[in-house]
Amino acid sequence: MGWDRVFGHELQKSFFQRILALKRVHHAYLLSGPSGIGKRTLALEVAKVLLCLDSREESCNRCKSCKLFERSLHPDFFFLNPEGDSLGIEAARDLVKKLSLKRVLSPFRVGVIDEAEKLTEEAANCLLKTVEEPKEGVVLFIVTSRVSALPETLISRCQKVVFSPLSEVSVEQYLREEKGLEPDRARFLALLSGGSIGQALFLASRREGILEEVQNFFKGVQNPKSIFELGPWLSEHREDLPTFLSFILRLLRDALFLSFSEGDPVPLFNLPEDVQSVVQNLALWGREKLLRSITSLETFLEDLSLNVQWDIASFHFLLQFGGEKL
C-alpha cells in the first residue's frame, strides 16, 4: 500500500509527490475540505514517505521506519486528535515539545493534527511558534473541515491544500474494492454520501435501521408534544449527528426537487423503493415547509460546526424544523 490507499484527490496527491521528488518540503501544511473525504489519510501517507528510510517519493513498506509507522510506534511521528469537543492547550504544548526534540530514526519529525477546527484559541496560539520559527526537519500537517475556525495568523503561515468532495465513482470504488460491498449497495451509498467516504461508511453501518430512525425523526418534529423528547435523542447521537443530519438534508433536498418534477422520482433519484417512499412522502410537505426545514437544518449543522451552546441551538432547531417561526 502507498499512494493508492488514498482514493481520488489526484491533484492533491500529485502536488505532494512533486514536492517530495524535488525535496522542497514546507514546514507546515493546512489540509482543508469536507469531513470524511480522505484528508487525514493523505496527510498520514505523506508523513510516512517523509519518515521512510529507503525512499523519498513513496513509502517502501519494508524499512524499520515504515514498519514502526504502521504499528503507530514511530518515535519521530506524533498524531494529535480531539478526544471530545476540543483540543486544549496542554495537548498542543505536548505536541510542540515533542516536535522540538532531536530526531531519533528518520530525517524528519512529523506531526499531524486532525480535526484542527476543535483547537481552542490558546492551543492554536501555542502552535504559532512552531509554524513561525520552524526547526529544521520538522513538518506539521493541520487537517480541518472548517478553516474559518482557525486564527488567521496560523492559516497564513501554512501552505494550503484544499480538498473537494470525492466523486460518486470514487466512493463507490472504495466501497466495492476496500470494503467488499455489493455493486448495488455501494452505488446507493455513494449516491447518498455527498462525496464523503466517512459518511458512506456511517450509512453502511446503520443501513438496516437508519430509515426507521429517519422516519421516527420526521414524525417527532411534526408533533409538538414529541419535540421535547427529541432533545435527549439528539444529545445521545451527538457524535454522529452531523452525518445523520446530512443524510436527512439530502432527502429533504431530493423531496424539494421532486416537488417541482410532477411526482416521478425514478429517473431523477435512482434510489431503492424504501428510500423513494420516504422522499415521496416528504415531497407532500409542500415547498414552503421543505424550504423552511432545509434552512433550519443547514443553520443547525453550521451551529454544530461552530460549537455554539448546545441546548439553545438544538431547541431552536427543533422548534423551527417543527414549524414554529421564531
Alpha-carbon gap, residue 273 to 211, rounded angstroms = 12
Report CA-CA distances (Å) from 107 to 139, 155, 264.
Answer: 11, 26, 60
> How high is the mean pLDDT of the chain?
85
Looking at the DSSP bridge assignments, the partners of residue 79 are: 112
Q: What is the predicted pLDDT for the residue at 4?
A: 78
State pLDDT tens for residues 255-313.
Answer: 888 888 765 544 555 566 777 788 888 888 888 889 989 998 888 888 877 667 777 88
CB neighbours of 225 closer than 8 A, spacing ≥ 6? Answer: none
Alpha-carbon gap, residue 180 to 41, rounded angstroms = 20
State pLDDT tens for residues 194-237.
Answer: 788 888 888 887 655 677 778 888 887 777 666 667 777 787 77
Furthest-apart CA pair in the chain: how many Å?
A: 68
Alpha-carbon gap, residue 45 to 26, rounded angstroms = 16
CA angle 30, 190, 83 (to 5 degrees): 45
CB burial string 164-186: b at 16+ within 10 A, e below: ebbebebbbbbbbeeeebeeebb
Alpha-carbon gap, residue 162 to 67, rounded angstroms = 29
pTM equals 0.77
Q: Is the pLDDT of residue 185 over 60?
A: yes
- Average pLDDT estimate for 308-321: 79
C-alpha cell at 160: 494550503
C-alpha cell at 240: 454522529
pLDDT above 90 covers a percentage of the chain that reads 37
**Lowest mean per-residue pLDDT among 20-24, 32-36, 131-135, 267-271:** 267-271
Q: Is the pLDDT of residue 114 over 80?
A: yes
Question: Coil, strand or helix: which one is 82?
Answer: coil
Alpha-carbon gap, residue 27 to 245, rounded angstroms = 37
